[in-house]
Structure 1
C-alpha cells in the first residue's frame, strides 16, 4: 500500500472513530432524541446543548460590573420597592442590608480574586428571592436572557385519600423509554423523597405564600427559565419511579439547555406606553408556560405560527379564535349539563380592547346557561385586560382596584415628570399631591388610584347573563390575582380553586430599564437620575405600585394574602391524564345549582319611536333608561315581551336593568 493510500485509510478510520465518538457523546448527554421531536420545534431545538457546554459559554462579570448591579439594586429596594415595609414585617427579611454586605465584600475584593460569576448571580437571586415576591426579580445577563434548562418530561400533583402523588403527565415527542411512560409515579429525586425534593426546590423559588412556592417548586424540578430562576445544582437527575406495572425503576437524565422560541405576542415592557406602565405579570410563570407549550404542546406552537400540520386535530376541537395561545373556548358536556368553557392562558396582550372584544365574541357563541372561566397557570399581563373583563359578567358597576406608590423622593420625581400635561400617554399626576403631603404626615404610602380607568372598566357592560364559575390555582398571579379579586369583590360568581390560594401577587411591576427611561424622557433627561445602564443585558424588576381590594374587603392588600377560593377541588389522577374531567364535572355541578338569568333585546328605531322585543329568563322586573334617566318599568315573566317607547333625537344610550325580586341581576346597554 502506498503512502497516499495509508494516509487515506487513516483518515477514514479517524473519521469513523470521530462519528462513533460524536454519537456516543450525544447519547451520553441525552440529546439524541431531539432529532425526533415535533416538526414545529425540531429545527429550533437543534441548537440545544447540555448543561456543562452552556456553562462554558457563559460570560463572566468583572468587579466594576458586579458593583454596578448591586448599587442599582439598592436604589430599587430603597426608593421604589412598594412592599419593602410589608415584607420586612411579613417574612423578617432585610434585602437592603444583604445588598450592603455584598457591596462591602466587593469593595474588599480585587479583580484577580473574583470567584466565578455563578456565585454572584446565585447570591443576587437569593437576595431578591428572600422577599418572596415574584414581581421583584434579578434578571441575569446574556447568555441567560433567552435560555431555559429542562428535562424531557413534566411532573404534576394529584390527590388520593388526601395524600399527594406525583406522576409524569407529559413527555416530549421523540423521547422514548421502555418503562418511563406517562402515568409513572415519582418516588425519589436524586435520592431525596419526592415531597422533600419539592420543598427544597420551592425554597429556591419565589412565591408569596406556601401554595405558590409549592407549585413553583414542582415546576422547577424540570423547567428553569435561566433569566430569573437558579441554575440546576446537578448536571443530571436520577429519578426513582414506579412504572405502570408497579415495578420500582430508575431513570438518569441530563439537564438540557435550549433557547426560547421568538415571542409571538405580548407587551413591550420597555416602551414608554400605557401598556408598559400597566403590567402585572409573573415573568417566571409566563416563561415556564412558554417552555411547556414548546416542549409538550408543539401543535399549539404550529397553530400560533400559522403552520397547522395535516395530522393536527386541535384546531377543530375549539372555537376558532383570533388570539391563539391567549384564549381557548369550547362547549363542555359535563355530568350536570352542557356549559361554556373559556381558558385564559395569559393577559399578556398589547391591546386590551381587542382582547375584550374577542372574549365577547367567544362567550356569545357558547351555551348561555353556565360558563366556566379557567385561569389556572395564568401569570398575568395587562391589568386593563384583566379588570376590563369583569364588566362582561355582571350588571354591577366595576370599581377597578386602586394602587399606591411608596412615598419616596425618587417616586415623586418620576410622577412629576410624567403628568398628562407633560407627556400624554403616561399619566402619574394623580399620585403627586399625596406623595408631597407625606413630608408633613409621615405616611408610608400615597393615596390609591386605579390603573384601569373607571370608564374603560364599564364601557361595554354585561354580555354574559348565566352563572359563572372561576377556576384558580396557586400559579395565578398579578393581573390574574387582580381579576380573581375583582370577581370575588363584585360577587360575580363562585371561585373553585385547585389550590388553597392564588399566587398572591398584588402589584404593578416595572423594569429597571423602564424606570431609567422614565427619567430620560422627554428630553432633556433628568441630570440627577440615579439609574445607570446595567452590564451585558442584565435587568431587574420591581413591584412599584401595590393593589388594594374593593367591596367587602376594601383596603386589604392582595400581596401575600391572595384570593381564597369559595371551594376547593383536589386534582385527581383522571384530571391529569384525562383532560381535567373531574375538575370540569365539579364546576358543572356548581353551575347547575346557581340561578340562571337571561336578557336579550331586539331593538328597532323608526323616527323616534322604538319597538323593543325583550326575552328574559329568571327576571321579574325590567327598568328602562335613556341617557341615565328612567323612562319605563314593567313586570316580566320568562319569555318574550314587546313594548314601544319614544326616543328623543338627541339620545345616545339606551339601558335595561333586570331584577329578580328587587335584586339587580342583569343589565344591557345599547349605543344609539
Structure 2
C-alpha cells in the first residue's frame, strides 16, 4: 500500500495522459446511455417528477451536438465527460452512473486528510479527523477545525460540492458533498477543477492558519465482486459504487492493516473466548466487520460495525457475523452500518433473521415495463444460465402490454428460504445506527430492520441515503441478451476505452406496515436522531455509543438456549430461558410440543426428535413471540 501512495502523481500530470476517445466513441456512449435511461431505468418516472429533470432529452441534445462536430472540431474530452456525468448525476441516483474510461477507471483523487462534521448545540463545525500516515504540515493535523475552503466559508463550500454530486435527499446530498471535498473516485466523478486547494483552519491553540495542498492521483484497491459477469452476486447487486470505491480508498489511506487479499470465514486460530469489557474480537473479515465490547455508563454492550455487504459469499458473511455476535455481550448489541454503501442484497436480508424470532419477508422488487425489459425477462424465464431466474416477473410484464401498468409485479430478489434458514442467533436487544451514506442493500437492510420491528434505529442524519434498487451494469445487460444464445437485434453495443455504465433495474418497496412504499428518495427515517459531537469524532464515537447504551439498557434481555441431549432414540431438549413463559417445539415445520416455562432450566422429551432434520423452538412472553432458536442436527 505504501507503494501505491508513493506512486501518486499530481493532478496536472495525470490529466496529460487523458483524452483518447474518438468522436465515434463519444456517439456510442451517448447512444448506449439513451438505451439504459429510456428503456431500462426503473426510477425514470419518479426522478422526472421529484427532481424536475429530463435526462432523456439532455442525452438527445448531447447526441445532436455530436453530429455537428468533426474529429478536428469536437470539444475537449474533459468537457464531454463532464456533460455526460452531469446528465447521470441529474437524476440523483447513486445506482445510475456513467463510469469513466481509461485512464480514470481504477483511480482516486485525494487530499491527504479527512474532514468530518460535528455539532455544538445547533451549530455545525468541521474537523480534521484523519491524516495519511507520514504526512506532516505543522501545525495542521488531527483536531484542526476547518473554517474556509478556497476562501469560501466551509458550510457554503459543502453546499456547492453537494450540488454537483448525486444525493437523493438533502441529508444525503450534504453528506456526499462533504466527502467529495477530500476524496473522489475518478471512475464515478470527473477530476477536480482545481489543481490545489487552500484550507483555512484554527489550530490546537485557536490560531487561524492556512494550508495549501495539491490533489493527488493514485490507483485504488480492486473490488471484491465482479459486477459485469453473469453471477448471483452480480445479478443481486445493490451497491453505491462511489461509496464502495471510497471505502476501499479510505482503508488504503488510513487503515491499511485492515486490507486482506480475500474475505473468508474459514480462518484457523480465531478466538472462541467471549470479549472482555473494552476488548476487540479478531475477525477473518476485517474489511467487512469490526467487533468489540464497549463499556458505557449504562452497561457493557457489543458494538458490531458492518462496513459493507459487497461479498461473493453471503452465507459465509452471515456465519462470520453470527460468530462475532456470539462472542460479544449478550445483553445488548449496537449494530452500526454507517457509511455502508451496500453490496449483495442476499447478504443484507439474510442477516436480518439472526436478530429476530419473526419470519423475514424480503423486500419485493419491480421492473419498469418496457419492451426491452420484457425481452430480458423472457430470455431468462427458465433460468437457462443457472444464475438468474426472471420467471416470476414475466407474466406481469406481459400483462402490462394490456393494462398499461408502469411497473411489473413485485417479487423478492432474496430467496425467502435463505432469509429464514438459520433463524435467530442473537437474543439480546439490538439498536441499529445509520447515516446518510447508508445506501442500496444497506437501505434495504435498514428498512427490513425497521419493518420487522427488530429494535430502535438511531440516525446520525435525518434519513439514510435512500437507494432502493437492484443495479446492473451495461456489460451484464449485454450478456443477458447473449446467453444462453444471442438474441437478434440486441441494442447493447461494446463500450470504448473500458468505459461503462450502471442502471437501477429493479426498484425495491417496503413490507409490513409500510408495504408498497418505495425506498428510493425516501430512505429510512430513524426512530432517534443523534447529532455527532466533537467527542464522537475524536474519541471513537464516545457520545453516540453512550446514547445507544441508554436505549439498550431500557429494553428486555431475553435468553433462549437449546441443547440437544439424551441417549440415541431417547433424545430430549434442554431449554435455558429468561423472560419467557412458554415454549413451542416444531420438528421439520410441524408442531410437536408446547410447554409452560415454570423455571429457567427445563428438560423436555420430544417425540420424533431423533428423526428431525430441523428443530425450531419458539419462546413466548405474554402470548407474543419473543425469541426463537433453530437447530440443524
Q: Which residue of 2 aligns with 1:552?
A: 513
Q: Would you say 1:393 and 2:351 are equivalent positions?
A: no
Report the counterpart of residue 487 of structure 2 in structure 1: 526
Question: Is the 8 Å Cα contact of residues 260 and 287 (structure 2) preserved in structure 1?
Answer: no
* Counterpart contact for 1:618–1:638, Cα < 8 Å: no
Q: Residues 204 and 230 of structure 1 are in contact (CA less than 8 Å); yes or no, is this contact kept in structure 2?
A: no
Superposed displacement of residue 637, structure 1: 4.7
Shift, 1:645, TM fit: 2.4
Residue number in structure 1 paired with 2:366: 404
- Tell me how far apart the structure 1 counterparts of residues 337 and 119 of structure 2 sit (CA, whole Å): 21
For 1:637 and 1:61, how far apart are their aligned partners in 2?
76
Q: Displacement of 1:630 after TM fit?
A: 2.4
Displacement after TM superposition at 1:585 (Å): 1.0
- Residues in 2 aligned to 1:238 and 1:655: alpha-carbon distance in whole angstroms: 62
- Pairing of 1:331-370 with structure 2 (within 5 A): 331-370=293-332
- Asked if structure 2 preserves the Cα contact closer than 8 Å seen for 1:303 and 1:324, the reply is no
* Aligned 1:38-117 pairs, distance under 5 A: 41-117=1-77
Q: How does 1:118-133 map to 2 (within 5 A)?
A: 118-133=78-93
Matched residues in 2 for 1:413 and 1:186: separation? 53
Partner SS state of residue 169, structure 1: strand
Q: 1:193 to 1:638 in 2, by over 3 A?
A: farther
Q: TM-score, normalised by structure 2?
A: 0.96
Look up the match of 2:453.
Answer: 491
**1:366 Cα deviation from its structure 2 partner:** 1.3
Residue 648 of structure 1, CA deviation = 5.8
1:314-333 matches, cutoff 5 A = 318-333=280-295
> Aligned to 1:447, which of 393, 400, 409?
409
SS at match of 1:69: helix
Q: How far apart are the structure 2 equivalents of 1:345 and 1:615?
A: 34
SS in 2 for 1:240: strand
SS at match of 1:44: helix
Shift, 1:638, TM fit: 5.7
CA distance in 1, matches of 2:129, 2:241: 24
Structure 1 residue 134: Cα displacement: 0.4
Name the CA shift for 1:405/1:614 in 2 (closer, same or farther; >3 Å).
same
Distance of 1:334 and 1:635 partners within structure 2: 36
Per the alignment, residue 669 of structure 1 pairs with: 630
Deviation at 1:359, TM superposition (A): 1.0
Bigger Rg over Cα: 1
Could you state the TM-score of these two structures normalised by the residue count of structure 1? 0.90
- Tell me which residue corresponds to 1:422: 384
The answer to whether structure 1 residue 651 and structure 2 residue 619 are counterparts is no
Candidates 363, 376, 379, aligned match of 2:341: 379
Q: Distance in 1 between matches of 2:306 and 2:609?
A: 41
C-alpha distance in 1, partners of 2:599/2:61?
71
Contact 1:339 1:369 in 2 (8 A): yes
| Consecutive unaligned residues in structure 1, runs of 5 or more | 1-40, 307-315
Structure 2 SS opposite 1:294: helix
SS of residue in 2 equivalent to 1:389 = helix
Aligned residue runs from structure 1 range 279-318, under 5 A: 279-301=237-259, 318=280
CA contact (8 A) 1:461 1:668 kept: yes
Q: Where does structure 2 lack aligned partners over 5 or more consecutive residues?
A: 265-277
Partner of 2:174: 214
Distance in 1 of aligned mates of 2:616 and 2:199: 62
What residue is the counterpart of 2:420 in the other structure? 458
1:358 deviates by: 1.1
Shift of 1:211: 0.6
Mapped to 2, the partners of 1:406 and 1:144 lie a distance apart of 32
Q: Cα distance 1:286–1:178, how it changes in 2: closer, same or farther (>3 A)?
A: same
Q: Distance in 2 between matches of 1:596 and 1:670?
A: 21
After superposition, the CA RMSD in angstroms is 1.5
Please say if residues 30 and 63 of structure 2, whose CA atoms lie closer than 8 Å, have aligned partners that are also in contact: yes
- Is contact 1:402-1:448 (8 Å) kept? yes
Q: Which residue of 2 aligns with 1:568?
A: 529
Alignment check: 8 A CA contact 2:19 2:78 kept:
no
The Cα shift of 1:429 comes to 0.9
